[in-house]
Amino acid sequence: MIRLRFVDGMDAVAAGIRAAEYGFWAIHTEALMPDGTLLGAHWQGGVQARPHDYDKGEFTKELYVSIPAGPAMTDSFHSFLRAQLGKPYDVEAIAAFVAGRDWQQPDAWFCSELQAAALAHCGWFANALAEQFNKITPRDLLLIVSGRVAIQEGLAA
């Protein structure tokens, strides 16, 4: 199983991201790794794995979304993320909130781009769908993932 964490905060950066996402609350996303760390792209430090409680008390909302995936897909997702460790934060992605750019450039990552690229790499996030977007915001990722998970659960019922 793949688990993504979505959060919201009350600082000026969070307010700016919410404004760019038309008031939607999800401003950051990262993956819960098998060892309990949270792996994501952050403004400070780029792509890193951090302790599960590294940001305790910083956010006002938190949501974990579980994505059904078999062992091979889950391993591929986590392996892709580990291969991105140390890459810089994608500062250009902030401009992509208002201007287009190729979000799949693998030299630097914004939080939601990184998770979407990992989902595309493991085969969960269809490349055809991913190619339709010039940016993937935390809001976009949460809506796509939660919608697809709901559809899969409905079909399985």
DSSP string, 5-52: EEEEE-SHHHHHHHHHTTT-S--EEEEEPTTS-EEEEETTTEEEEE-T
DSSP state of 85: T
Looking at residue 8, what is its pLDDT? 83
Tell me, what CATH number does 22's domain have?
3.90.1720.10
Q: Single out the residue of 94, 100, 128 nearest to residue 112, CA to CA.
A: 94
Looking at residue 93, what is its pLDDT? 65
Q: Count Cβ atoms below 10 Å from residue 149 Cβ, excluding itself.
A: 14
* pLDDT tens, N- to C-terminus, the chain (157 residues): 999 999 887 766 666 666 766 656 778 899 999 999 999 998 888 999 999 988 887 777 888 999 999 999 999 999 999 999 999 987 776 666 555 556 566 678 888 889 999 998 999 876 555 566 667 788 888 888 887 777 666 655 5
Q: Residue 141: which residues within 8 A CB-CB, separation 6 or more?
A: 4, 6, 26, 29, 112, 115, 116
Structural domain that includes position 133: 2-156
In this prediction the pTM is 0.84
Looking at residue 133, what is its pLDDT? 65
* C-beta of residue 48 within 8 angstroms of C-beta of residue 42: yes
Structural domains of the chain, count: 1
What is the distance between the alpha carbons of residues 70 and 54, in angstroms, rounded to a whole number? 29
Q: Residue 115: which residues within 8 A CB-CB, separation 6 or more?
A: 4, 29, 30, 31, 40, 141
Q: Count Cβ atoms below 10 Å from residue 150 Cβ, excluding itself.
A: 10
